[in-house]
Amino acid sequence: MLVLLILLVSCTNSTQANNKSTIAGDHRVADSIRADQISEMKFGMFICWSFSTFYGEEWTPTLDKDASYFRATGCDTDQWCKTAKDAGMGYLLFLSKHHDGFCLWDTKTTDKKVTNSPIGIDVLAELRKSCDKYGIKLALYFSEGDWNWPGAVDGKGHNEGMGIDPEMKKAQLKELCTQYGPIEFFWMDHAVGDGGLNHSETVEWVHQFQPDCFVGFNHGDAAGRLSLREMGTPGPIGDASTTKYNKDAEANYGGYLVAEFTYPILPPHEGGAMWFYSLPKHDSLCLPAEKLYQDYLGAVEFGNIFSIDVGPNYEGKIRDIDVETLKKVGELIRENKVFRTSYPDIPRIDVHTHIGNDLTGIANCLELRKILSDKSDVDLAMWINLGGGNDPIENTESLLVASEGHMLCAIADYSAHDGLKYPPETLEGFQKQGFVGYKIWAGPW
């Protein structure tokens, strides 16, 4: 029996899959479905690239520095995203601003920004283009506090002094939420405090612009739907042993729906940074692919997402050793697919993707269909989600034409778990009725 996965066209007002501003509408994806979507990303790359790349230590005092301190000679966001794609990753987590306050986007809130540096480009804007090109989703790291703000002690954590400027924090988050397309989640760093906007207020502020965006905090007051485990391990939500800095929240907060864990690809070493590119003498150091793959399997087992940290070098490229290691992880993932389903005898192909309702993305599905047809006996069916009854889409004929007649069925009120409701014999019954494609949410992991 041939069971095929699908191309989804999401036609609700709450999510948009283009590069334009994303502003909240009247709709929000149900928590259970959104949690599945986040968990489905499984594995991602955490990019840390800022002042500390050039300082040689983790934290870079900032008050005596301006944008010219960021001395990158290049920026290859395509390389980052291609490496992520080859590694079997679903998302890229990008450091938008560290504690030094240097912004990697063209902000209007400060002159300490990448467009005023020698490289002179909006790195986040370039990254958004590369993510879209390679089919990688985007998440953002953001330091809540800032050593440039009143009350902070330059180069020190919140116990020494908290940087307070809630209006600046809100303005920066608004820019990130409204100018760079859909943000899957925010990774909020509390090291210099909450910036004067507490965590619950921060979540509410982000959701004004992107209601489906998950927000997590590495420590401080618990809030949001995402558990962050800095230097953590895979495991079920509520297991305090999986996190180094957030044990109380992990054990006692009831709002987490998904857990993320992260650590650097660099093994422990003397001198230099860990989360950022270290020193040239450490260019041969890298954790083994087998270690990363085992933690990927742990993430899949518990429905976590795993963000492996990689620091681009002075030229804005990922180190060769990191590229090769992550490529090996991708090969292990593809060679040893894990099926998260109670019906392992049903063949399935995971080509799950969300695109907009402007007909873009269908060409990619058709290209994949041709590859599958050329290399196997598989024929890719296209199922289109037309949204709920209150949000009808009237261009069904256009969708059918654009899909070259391969749109087999239009499903209204799509539920992410529908595929798991049906045992094999029911799916066989559907096939006898003429359907040749089914949506199976689990698919190969």
Q: Which helix (H) or strand (E) holds 374?
A: helix 362-375
Structural domain boundaries in the chain = 1-16+330-445, 27-318
Q: What is the full DSSP assignment across 250-305? A: HHH-----EEEEEEESSPP-SSS-SSS---GGGTT----HHHHHHHHHHHHHHT-E
Q: Is this model's pTM higher than 0.85 or not?
A: no
Question: Is 411 in contact with 383 (CB distance < 8 Å)?
Answer: yes
Q: How far apart are CA 7 and CA 100, in angstroms?
A: 42
pLDDT in tens, the chain (445 residues): 223 333 332 333 333 333 333 344 447 899 999 999 999 999 999 999 999 999 989 999 999 999 999 999 999 999 999 999 999 999 999 999 999 999 999 999 999 999 999 999 999 999 999 999 999 999 999 999 999 999 999 999 999 999 999 999 999 999 999 999 999 999 999 999 999 999 999 999 999 999 999 999 999 999 999 999 999 999 999 999 999 999 999 999 999 999 999 999 999 998 889 999 988 999 999 999 999 999 999 999 999 999 999 999 999 999 999 999 999 999 999 887 643 333 333 333 333 333 334 455 566 666 665 665 565 544 444 444 433 333 344 444 555 555 555 443 333 333 333 433 445 455 445 444 443 333 333 233 2
Task: Please spell the DSSP secondary structure of 158-203, one letter per residue.
Answer: TTT-----HHHHHHHHHHHHHHS----EEEEE-TT--TTS-HHHHH
Q: What is the pLDDT of residue 28?
A: 86
Tell me, what DSSP letter sits at residue 37? H
Among candidate residues 7, 91, 92, 80, the one with its CA nearest the CA of residue 41: 91
* pLDDT at residue 278, rounded to an integer: 86
Residue 183: half-sphere exposure toward Cβ, Cα within 13 Å:
34
In angstroms, what is the C-alpha Rg of the chain? 22
Closest CA relative to residue 142, chosen from 181, 168, 122, 108: 168
Rounded CA-CA distance 154/265 in Å is 28
pLDDT score, position 413? 31
Q: Please give the structure tokens belonging to residue 213.
A: 């965006």
Strand partners for 355: 9
- DSSP conformation class of 91: E
Name the CATH topology of 27-318.
Answer: TIM Barrel (3.20.20)
Contact status, residue 340 vs residue 42, Cβ threshold 8 Å: no
Contacts of 4 (CB under 8 A, 6+ apart): 348, 349, 378, 379, 380, 381, 436, 437, 438
Instruction: Give the C-alpha separation, 213 to 16, whole Å.
Output: 12
CB atoms within 10 A of CB 348: 21
Other CB atoms within a 10 A radius of the CB of residue 122 amount to 20
Helix or strand or coil: residue 343?
Answer: coil
Residues 6+ apart with CB under 8 A from 291: none
